[in-house]
Amino acid sequence: MLLKKEREELYNCYKKMLEVGLTNGTSGNISILNREKKLVAMSPTGIEFDKLKLEDISIVDLDGKLIEGLKPSSELEMHNIIYREREDINAIVHGHTVYATTVACLRQDLPAIDYMIAVAGGNNVRCAEYATFGTPELAKNALKAMEGRKAALLANHGVIAGAGDIHNAFNIAEQIEYISELYVKAKSIGEPVILSDKEMVKMVKLFKNYGQIKK
């Protein structure tokens, strides 16, 4: 079985995503890149978690060719284009979360209402321009929105987060969903105060290594 370790990590992460509400049903997708072998382990399309087996997990190359397992998620190219262009990202979590998607439906960036947004690498999380799911256009839009960042909102769609490993990619996605919830609730009672760019420069430096899960 190719990429057994990556398959196990993906399976455990997918389970945790369902438990904490970062995805539901068969929506969302996750992947892990083995850069040495240039192969990607990815959640297969249209299969519920309780029916998912390790051997079902898709193994593809960076051109999208299926090597083992079931047919990969329709968002395969959105993952692969990031792996091809971003050497700092080896794992990606994409979820259709309630609050991040709510902000994405406004087609606006998520601002720094909480200093924890620094885990995504900047003073905001940009919203990628809308494109149909599974298309090369969406993949390119996501890559552009993630420039200098480790996360992006996808207009009328969801959130995507990447990191050096799946544990930190999950952590970033979870934090962005939390901050999105804060933003939506704060906007419902007033206008939230946004942290200054100067403060966020400081936060990004402090969070460069803070809270990073070490293997």
What is the pairing mode between strands 29-34 and 39-42?
Answer: antiparallel
CA distance linking residue 144 with residue 41, whole number of Å:
23
Report the catalytic residues: 75
Two tokens, residue 20: 């904490």
Alpha-carbon distance values, 39 to 48, 83, 91, 92, 161 (Å):
23, 10, 12, 14, 19
First CA to last CA distance, the chain = 23
- Sheet of strand 66-68, all strands in order from the earlier edge strand to the far edge: 66-68, 58-61, 39-42, 29-34, 91-95, 158-163, 151-154, 127-128
Two tokens, residue 212: 């990073």
DSSP conformational letter for 26: T
Longest dimension (CA), the chain: 54
